[in-house]
Amino acid sequence: MKTELVGRGIVKRGRGRSDSVSLVGAEPVAKATAQAKNGRKARASSNGTANLGFEAKLWLTADKLRNNMDAAEYKHVVLGLIFLKYISDSFEEQRAKLLAGEGDYEGANPEDPDEYKAENVFWVPAEARWHQLQANAKQPTIGKLVDDAMVAIERDNPRLKGVLPKDYARPGLDKQRLGELIDVIATIELTASRESGASEGEQTHRSVDLLGRVYEYFLTRFASAEGKNGGQFYTPSCVVRCLVEMLEPYKGRIYDPCCGSGGMFVQSEKFVESHGGKLGDISIYGQESNATTRRLAVMNLALRGIEADFGPEHADSFRRDLHPDLRADYVLANPPFNDSDWVRRDDDVRWQFGVPPKGNANFAWVQHFLHHLAPQGMAGFVLANGSMSSNQSGEGEIRKALIEADLVDCMVAMPGQLFYSTQIPVCLWFLAKSKAADSQRGFRDRRGHTLFIDARKLGSLIDRVHRELLEADLEKISGTYHRWRSADSVGSYDDVPGFCKSATIAEIAAHGHVLTPGRYVGAEEVEDDGEPFEEKMPRLVAELEAQFAESARLEQAIKANLRGLGYGA
């Protein structure tokens, strides 16, 4: 995506942006691409989080203004403003086109909301436009002005109803800092420089890309600034990417019944785009039980022009399934870890493999996912490691039933320290409704077989407590899975001791239906020192002889020394 942008010469040097990014004017495509690649590599090795330098700078500035406010609270303040800036900017871009009135827009009326909706651009009423707010940023009434802007936008755009934060006027929010924050966000330069000659479509692209990135970066940073929250953790992007790269959701229905701020969907879209697909090849269904988190998700996807069905409101997937008839092609999810406080109906149609225990929702989630899978559907999700081996409260029985139904396609043990606010080690489950050969997707017949990958040794520490899977790690994991399931014999799969193993249902049964990859992949082959026994022993014996002699000499020296001090004979 970025490469593309750079290649087309649209991203140019702007105020406040770091030079670490290749922001080019009109350089040849090939060179620009190479630069972009280098840039990414350099960043990946320095802090691993593939981000623009300017996002980090922006974060530092914004975080300074946070002062004593909780990260959890401040998150909504900042992300709401970024969203406001985004829709205002994309509105202005569209408006500029309408005003110019060229080509398709000849005779268009820039004040007609339909002209915007037709282009999937939100209509922004005059009082909610960014320059209006920024002009008043220093006024004590700025809080109320922002609230009014949010209300006005929601009023004119039913899709955003109830989504935008509207409590900027609250007394607890320092108005001077709010004004400064607005100035900071204003520095995210969007409007394409008119003289660069970039075409209209590309301008939109760039807005989406930059603000989307800032939004995502801020979400991540807030996740690391926030504390723990009932087993719910922001899914680090390398974990999401791993799920996506494994499943390869080129097209179809994608479902995440505990979608948080929508990270799975954003990555899926990125995946589709980077593989030459287009927005709209996949349709997105989500559900989220936390009202404020759901709002973040709606904004997150709206920012990228992605249509998503989050159901009419926030709701708990167990209490009230908002997509009861959905049969998804792909489920991608990171449900709360070991949730002990969930609502169970004992006769729920979803409990096909056994009633999950009240004290742990892991297998309730698993069965919920399965319930919503289409006949060829696949699910990839994150669970706490306990799910692979626990035998408490019937969980072992459920796992056994899943294995015997031949649903488990692949298990991946992840390295520790991947998450921001918890050290909990996690695994990835990949379930397939059907493991029969699938010529359309190029899958071989893998019935009765499960692939185990032990990725615990992969990844690099990005600081003292956080680890990240880099490009090569993701490639190693997903490549192994793809070779294993591929019908194509080229570059075929082999077991690698200590890393991966294709096991049969019988082997899994022999291990008591425990799915911990380490059990199957065995130990890494230890490099023999290559020294034959016949040679090694004489060498060691000679060393020992010398050491005995040295020992005798030292003993004499010590005895003599002690005598010198007046001790010993």
Partner 1 sequence: MARDWPHLPKLQSEDDAFSVAPEGWSTCQIEHIFEKLEIGKRFDQKTSFPSGKIPVIDQSAYGFVGYHDEEPGVVAAKTSPVITFANHTCEMRVMRRPFSVIQNVFPMVGRPGVCETLFFYYSTKGRVHLEEYKGHYPDFRRLWINLPPLAEQKAIAAVLGALDDKIELNRRMNATLEAMARALYQSWFVDFDPVRAKLDGREPVGLDPATAALFPEHFVESALGPIPQRWEVCSLANKIELLSGGTPKTSEPNYWDGDIPWYSVKDAPSETDIWVIQTEKQVTKLGVDNSATQVLPEGTTIISARGTVGRLALVGTQMAMNQSCYGVRGVNAYADFFTYFSLRQATADLQQRTHGTVFDTITRQTFETLDYIFPPAPLMQAFDRTVEPSLAQMRANIHQSHTLTTLRDTLLPKLLSGELMAKDAESLIGKVA
Report if residue 307 touches partner 1, rule: CB under 8 A: no
Contact call for residue 60 and partner 1 (CB under 8 A): no
**Which of the ranges 92-100, 112-120, 208-216, 378-386 carries the binding residues for partner 1, by CB under 8 A?**
378-386
Binding segment toward partner 1, per CB under 8 A, in 117-125, 198-206, 268-276, 522-530: 522-530
> In this structure, what token pair is assigned to residue 173?
């929010």
Q: Which residues pair with 429 in a beta bridge?
A: 381, 411
Q: At its nearest, how many Å lie between partner 1 and the CB of residue 254?
A: 29
Which of 139, 521, 530, 568 forms a contact with partner 1 (CB under 8 A)? 521
Cα dihedral sign, 174-71-124-11: positive
Is residue 386 at the binding interface for partner 1, with CB under 8 A as the rule? Answer: yes
What letters, b where the CB count within 10 A reaches 16 and e where it falls short, cover 477-515? Answer: bbebbbbbbbeeeeeebeeeeebbbbbebeebeeeebbb
Minimum distance from CB of 544 to partner 1 (Å)? 5
Length in residues, the chain: 569
Give the residue with the Cβ less far from partner 1, 38 or 423.
423
Q: If binding is defined by CB under 8 A, does position 35 make contact with partner 1?
A: no
Q: Contact 80/69 with Cβ under 8 angstroms?
A: no
Q: Which amino acid, one-letter code, is at 555?
A: E
Q: Is 47 in the site for partner 1 (CB under 8 A)?
A: no
- The answer to whether 292 and 219 have CB atoms below 8 angstroms apart is no
Nearest distance in Å: CB 292, partner 1: 29
In 122-269, DSSP assigns E strands to: 252-256
Helix (H, G, I), strand (E, B) or coil at 519: helix
Query: Kind of pairing, strands 460-461 and 467-468?
Result: antiparallel
- Residues 6 or more apart whose CB falls under 8 angstroms from that of 305 comprise 120, 208, 279
463 touching partner 1, by CB under 8 A: no
**560 near partner 1, judged by CB under 8 A:** yes
How far is it, in rounded angstroms, from Cα 100 to Cα 86? 21
Interface pattern 404-423 for partner 1 (x via CB under 8 A): -------------------x
Of 56, 82, 299, nearest to 211 (Cα)?
Answer: 82
String marking each residue 426-455 x if it binds partner 1 according to CB under 8 A: ----------------------------x-
Within residues 250-279, the interface with partner 1 by CB under 8 A covers: none
Contact status: 389 vs partner 1 (CB under 8 A): yes
> Which of 131, 511 has the CB closer to partner 1?
511
Q: Is 557 in the site for partner 1 (CB under 8 A)?
A: yes
Stretch of 7-15, 172-180, 215-223, 510-518 contacting partner 1, by CB under 8 A: 510-518
Q: Is 502 in the site for partner 1 (CB under 8 A)?
A: no
Stretch that binds partner 1, among 78-86, 180-188, 374-382, 519-527 (CB under 8 A): 519-527
Q: Should residue 321 be labelled a site residue for partner 1 when binding is judged by CB under 8 A?
A: no
Asked if residue 506 binds partner 1 (CB under 8 A), the reply is: no
Stretch that binds partner 1, among 268-276, 328-336, 434-442, 555-563 (CB under 8 A): 555-563
| Nearby residues of 479 by Cβ (< 8 Å), 6 or more positions away | none
Q: Which of 312, 489, 533, 569 binds partner 1 (CB under 8 A)?
A: 533
Q: Which residues contact 412 (CB under 8 A, 6 or more apart)?
A: 242, 246, 427, 428, 430, 453, 455, 477, 517
The piece of 430-438, 468-476, 482-490, 553-561 that touches partner 1 (CB under 8 A) is 553-561
Q: Which of 264, 257, 313 is closest to 286 using CA atoms?
A: 257
- The distance of closest approach from Cβ of residue 409 to partner 1 in the complex, given in angstroms and rounded to an integer, is 20
Q: Which residues pair with 284 in a beta bridge?
A: 254, 308
Tally of CB atoms within 10 A around 57: 15
Residue nearer to partner 1 on the CB measure, 400 or 519: 519
Give the integer Cα–Cα distance in Å for 443 and 272: 19
CB-nearer residue toward partner 1: 394 or 425: 425
Please pick, from the candidates 161, 199, 551, 568, the single residue that binds partner 1 as defined by CB under 8 A: 551
Single out the residue of 110, 113, 394, 498 in contact with partner 1 (rule: CB under 8 A): 498
Q: Is 104 in the site for partner 1 (CB under 8 A)?
A: no
Tell me the C-alpha distance between 169 and 232, whole Å.
Answer: 30
Q: How far is CA 82 from CA 12, 48, 114, in A?
A: 21, 24, 24
Out of 30, 530, 534, 569, name the contact with partner 1 by CB under 8 A: 534
Distance CA 30, CA 285 (A): 38
95, 518, 527, 530: residue in contact with partner 1 (rule CB under 8 A): 518
Question: Judged by CB under 8 A, which stretch of 169-177, 316-324, 476-484, 542-550 contacts partner 1?
Answer: 542-550
Output 162 or 394, the one with its CB closest to partner 1: 394
Can residue 41 be called a binding residue for partner 1 (CB under 8 A)?
no
- Residues sharing a CB contact under 8 Å with residue 536, sequence separation 6 or more, in sequence order: none
Rule CB under 8 A: choose which of 78, 308, 364, 384 binds partner 1: 384
Alpha-carbon gap, residue 357 to 117, rounded angstroms:
48
Question: Does 396 interact with partner 1 (rule: CB under 8 A)?
Answer: no
Report in angstroms how near the CB of residue 557 gets to partner 1 at its nearest.
5
3-state secondary structure of 386: helix
Handedness of CA 270, 272, 274, 280 (dihedral sign): negative
Q: Does 479 bind partner 1 (CB under 8 A)?
A: no
Q: Give the count of residues interacting with partner 1 (CB under 8 A).
A: 46
CA distance 62 to 253: 37
Q: Min. distance of Cβ 199 from partner 1 in angstroms?
A: 44
Question: H/E/C letters for each residue in 131-163?
Answer: HHHHHCCCCCCHHHHHHHHHHHHHHHCHHHCCC
Cα distance between residue 177 and residue 157, in whole Å? 29
Asked if residue 569 binds partner 1 (CB under 8 A), the reply is no
Site residues (CB under 8 A) for partner 1? 338, 384-386, 388-389, 423-425, 454, 498, 511-512, 514, 516, 518-519, 521-524, 526, 533-534, 536-537, 540-541, 543-544, 547-548, 550-551, 553-558, 560-561, 563-566
